[in-house]
A = this chain, B = another copy of it.
Amino acid sequence: MATTASVDSDFIHRLAREARKAALRLAVATTAERNAVLEVLAGLLASESSSILEANHRDLEAGRSAGLSEPLLERLTLTPERLHRIGAGVKEVAALPDPLGAELHSHTRPDGLEIRKVRVPIGVIAIIYESRPNVTIDCAALCLKAGNAAILRGGKEAFHTNTALAALVSKALAENNLPETAAQLVPTTDREALHHLLKLDDLIDCVIPRGGEGLIRMVAETSTIPVIKHYKGICCLYLDHAADPEMAEAIVVNAKTQRPSVCNAAEQLLVHRGAAAALLPRIGRALATAGVELRADEEAAAILTQAGVPCRPAAPDDFRTEFLDLVLAVRLVGSLTEGIQAINTDGSHHSDAIVTSDEAAARTFLAGVDSAAVYWNASTRFTDGYEFGMGAEIGISTDKLHARGPMGLPELCSYKYHVLGHGQIRT
């Protein structure tokens, strides 16, 4: 629960200036140089594991004294096995293709001027996160791979662990003759220092908050630096009148129960009124068997009850709630249009699915639902960097600017234009 008392706004400003300087150096580092940092880091995570675990032990002791809840202590805990997995993740990032330098577009103007749009790092990225210490390494590795300097501001519960982990990143940078300030942990968890950091828009290019909605909202409201947000996932499943019952059951059960605590799990089931009598009893039964509590609107409840499936009446808020638990809100809608409207109004623009064998209905749904990922006949659980083939992700954006949905390495990049001439002037 430590913070360093000597950290003032000048210190934060200096830290950000160092990050900016380091970013300019990193921007011209080669692929091999950046990968070497990650390889060395993975090695250090193994060779220095005891000091990391010791620092983690201090955080856990402090956390227990402070009366942290068991789930919070669990999130905070590093084990040799978890540390090993973190190191393996760093190696995976090293093995990913370099996103930098790619020519995204190029053309030659009639006067011979060549305009080339090339991918470059964003620059300085601040990651604001809570109690999971693995974020320190995961985010630093992704930022460095994409040529960005990282400013890491973790939660106070993990302060000692984060300090030890960040020191390894700096060591891996220094061993490769790159500025160790290319990854810096803010050495305080003081709120005021964070507020100061979030105003340094001339030095920091992007802020990514990773944590609960309260943290994200605070960052979005305070920051004058562009923020990439990933709010909650109220994912909806819509069963069309032409849904195949077996497929519908498999998708609903998977999307709700395979891992209920994550943002791409389903929270809401909408069923076309004309198909409810055929679909709801079997799907309700399967869900009940899987331990899911159903909160149903009046019409859905009537069908479920008649079929002997337990349910309770839904409150209006249940249709705007991210349960992250074995709970599902269920309602009937009169049409595809009504279903799309309900999802756009009450969902969270994250991931939503239609189950139907009617292609026209599917196309209307894909076009009409305003979400990062819209599914036809598949589970929403696939919204994920690995599943989308990106290799690793830094988060899942619910914003529409810059990045939407899973954010991999290319989404941690910007671009610039190289304009090559032979003396062209504008007339």
Contacts and interface: CB of A to CB of B under 8 A. Distances in A.
Interface of A: 24, 27-28, 107, 109, 113, 115, 122-123, 201, 205-206, 220-221, 224, 226-228, 244, 247, 250-251, 254-255, 258, 344, 366-368, 370-379, 381-383, 387-389, 399-402, 404-405, 414-427
A372 B374 CA distance: 33
A250 B422 CA distance: 11
A424 B205 contact: no
A416 B378 CA distance: 16
Given A378-B421, A425-B378, A387 B344 contact: no
A417 B375 CA distance: 8
Given A251-B425, A366-B418, A377-B424, 20 more contacts: A27-B368, A115-B388, A122-B401, A205-B401, A226-B402, A228-B401, A254-B425, A255-B425, A258-B427, A371-B416, A373-B417, A373-B419, A375-B420, A375-B421, A376-B420, A377-B420, A378-B420, A378-B421, A382-B424, A382-B426
A30 B117 CA distance: 29
B224 A419 contact: no
* Most B C-beta atoms less than 10 A away, residue of A378, A383, A399, A404: A378
A250 B425 contact: yes
Given A122-B400, A227-B226, A250-B425, A370 B419 contact: no
Main secondary structure on A side of the interface with B: mixed
Contacts of A370: 24, 27, 123, 416
A376 B416 CA distance: 14
Contact of A416 (B109, B258, B405, B417): B405
A389 B425 contact: no
A250 B425 CA distance: 7
Contact of A201 (B220, B247, B255, B371): B220
Contacts of A228: 401
A196 to B, nearest CB: 14
A389 B24 contact: no
A417 B402 contact: no
A115 to B, nearest CB: 6
A426 B379 contact: yes
B404 A414 contact: yes
B417 A388 contact: yes
A209 to B, nearest CB: 13
A265 to B, nearest CB: 10
Given A113-B382, A344-B24, A372 B254 contact: no
Contacts of A401: 122, 205-206, 226, 228, 401-402, 414
Given A205-B400, A371-B416, A377 B250 contact: no
A416 B374 contact: yes
13 contacts: A27-B370, A201-B220, A206-B400, A220-B224, A247-B422, A250-B423, A370-B416, A372-B416, A376-B418, A378-B423, A379-B424, A388-B417, A404-B416
Contacts of A414: 400-401, 404
Given A367-B27, A388-B115, A374 B425 contact: no
